[in-house]
Amino acid sequence: MQVKLEQLAAYRASGTPRGISSVCSAHPIILRAALRHGLQSGATVLIEATCNQVNHLGGYTGMKPADFVALVCRIAAEEGCPVEQIVLGGDHLGPNPWRDRDAEAAMAEAEKMVAAYVAAGFRKLHLDASMGCKDEPVALDDAVTAARAVRLAAVAEKTAKDVGGDMPCYIIGTEVPPPGGADHALDTIIPTAPEAVRQTLAVHREAFAQAGLADAFNRVIGIVVQPGAEFGNCNVIFYDREKAQSLVRVLDGEPGLVFEAHSTDYQGAKPLAGLVEDGFAILKVGPELTFVLREALYALDVIASDLVPGYGERPLKQEMERLMLADPGNWNRHYYGDAATQAVLRHYSLSDRIRYYWATVAAEKAVARLIAALTGRNIPLPMMWQYLPAATDFADAPLEPETFLIWRVTQSLQAYHAACNG
């Protein structure tokens, strides 16, 4: 059953809550898994790109919004997934990539980015101008955040009218800690205070109205809050429904809204279902998907090392280690401890910052070599038991490595689908 974003609040109000999982990744295998699963399940396929990942200057993937759309559409066509089943979203759209500049310069870039997203076909926009720029506090107050969000909404509205098609729907608010998980072991996470949510909504509602954008605010479908679910490098804080009930009751006074939950990775089926039942109807997942993809790739890398003459001793892992050491900027501010601890985290941290390196030419070549080494080979059952026991159905038959990788990602997607659909 396909549930649309605009229907989520009504489902909750009727006592039959439903949810939509948001796939936050630009990795082609993960996109293919999401689109294939969407075709099989009939569910809405919500795929989101972040401001750092994809923007009008290329982002860390090298893709502009139109490039990302083209990639999704190409894979969707190959998988036979109908375009009307796909929703594209932009996450944390704001000045974040340009925080080292003064606010006006950073916001000018953010406006260009939002225009590029909308022109390319993105229609779910998370407006997040909560971060301070040069010579500003790290986090801004609601008034400044709302004023900047209104600037971005005005650009989105104008661009949508110019290019045609559906008008955007919006998400406001941000979450704590920042996206991608915390940098340290966590003991507990406190849900967002109800009064903070009400204040954020009131200030944004007023700012939109004063700017003549009341109609745009009517298309705000959700607000990002911290439900008390998070993950660090090596541990997970699971959603505790009892602790979140005062936060959940905020939605009783805002029947047109739902909550959007970030960092829901690694929660598992039961906590995810609880989140949806409580009104956290949009569940973001990203690092978990690239983590399980890496898990499957590394399992195959070990198997090929043991099974294929001349393949070498875990050359994929060795290549990823070389890449991360040569360009440490994507992980060294997030992984603490001595050299041995950092070496483990580079490959196995739940925050999965290795994901920034898969799109490099060297990594793609190493993955291609692994796939070529195992394509059509029979993996003995005992080896599969040793390295990825859940994948025994793939043993003792000619292996299609890409199918194997998509299967592993789909296992996570299925847990989200079950939670979102009761």
**pLDDT tens digits, one per residue of 200-209:** 999 999 999 9
- pLDDT grade for 179, boundaries at 50, 70 and 90: very low
DSSP annotation string for 91-146 = EEESSGGGTTS-HHHHHHHHHHHHHHHHHHT--EEEE---B--TTS-SB--HHHHH
Q: Identify the pLDDT of residue 187.
A: 75
What's the pLDDT at 65? 98
- Comparing CA positions, the residue from 44, 39, 50 lying closest to residue 19 is 44
CA distance from start to end of the chain: 11
Q: How far is it, in rounded angstroms, from Cα 110 to Cα 94?
A: 5
pLDDT exceeds cutoff 50 at 372: yes
Is the pLDDT higher at 60 or at 107?
A: 107
pLDDT attached to residue 80:
98
Give the side-chain half-sphere CA count within 13 A for 190.
Answer: 4
Q: Residue 57: pLDDT above 90?
A: yes
Residue 380 pLDDT grade (very low, low, confident, very high; cuts 50, 70, 90): very high
Q: State yes or no: cis peptide before 380, omega within 30 of 0.
A: no
Q: Poorest-confidence range of 185-199, 240-254, 365-379, 389-403? A: 185-199
pLDDT of 155 strictly over 90: yes
Tokens of 404: 């194997």
pLDDT of residue 259: 98
Residue 131, phi then psi, degrees to nearest 5? -90, 145
Does residue 32 contact residue 406 with C-beta atoms inside 8 Å? yes
What confidence tens digit (pLDDT) does each residue in 250-262 have? Answer: 999 999 999 999 9
DSSP state for residue 187 in the 8-state scheme? S
Residues contacting residue 3 through CB under 8 Å, at least 6 positions apart: 11, 18, 19, 20, 43, 44, 420, 421
